[in-house]
Structure 1
């Protein structure tokens, strides 16, 4: 259990690193006239992701979930791949990446890294979904995995709609005004 607690702490530290990057990127975006959308769902997202970390530890400890190597090692590999994908997304978006929906008007969509595949418009959320399943299942916290996955699906529906609207309005060509 101690090593699992350390794993969850490492993921929590990664979240703190994300917030540091997001704050820096927010300042960059604000300096360029950014618009912020979807502020209403952001607290729910923070609570859900905090709940994932707490739920992993609580379920393993309170329910006495066993370590099952045949499940744990593949889930650890999925978790590592999810972290790799997440940081590839962050690096590809550069200063435009954020935990909030912040869009700088007039900038074209990013088309590098995992964003070059247009069929996969939101690769960062693939990482979030994978992590939400894998992290709890590393130590058989299946209730946490199911609850997070269901709530995250609801939240991502809201988030992706919000993000798509914000991106469409910020990247749309300016309307021409008749002379």
Structure 2
């Protein structure tokens, strides 16, 4: 179940959608406010009144483009929850991989953009995985000691790597193999004694 609330007017959302599309096509350095204004049939002044800089426009566009929030699945099965999270994350990453690649060049100069990227592609999916693990621990399906950052990072981290840095984008089979052959095997074994 997805929830999504935009804070922008329809016209502002249009500017942001144009910005994302042009960012994907031309990269951050090739994106201009002039091109956004021309494509949206507006003036630069109108855009600059709302977003005083290109960096603020790109940040708003990225946040708007990735604002759909995924609610935790709560299916009653850890495997089903992880598969649903993996499929959702593949959809999100597939839709936004070129945007993320384009924005990565600006992250070192724009900490707010870096934080937005981290929230959308690291923090949110990690919370979903952690929630699924807490549910599984509450049911007695896994030991609560397995709910650690590294485990929660594994599914979204690997899938994002495949989208951004590999020439092999993940598929539903990738998600299934990662869940069945790596995560569930590791999570359902008793952790070693300390």
TM-score by length of 2: 0.30
Q: Could you say which structure has the greater relative contact order, defined with CA pairs below 8 angstroms and 6 or more residues apart?
A: 1
TM-score by length of 1: 0.32
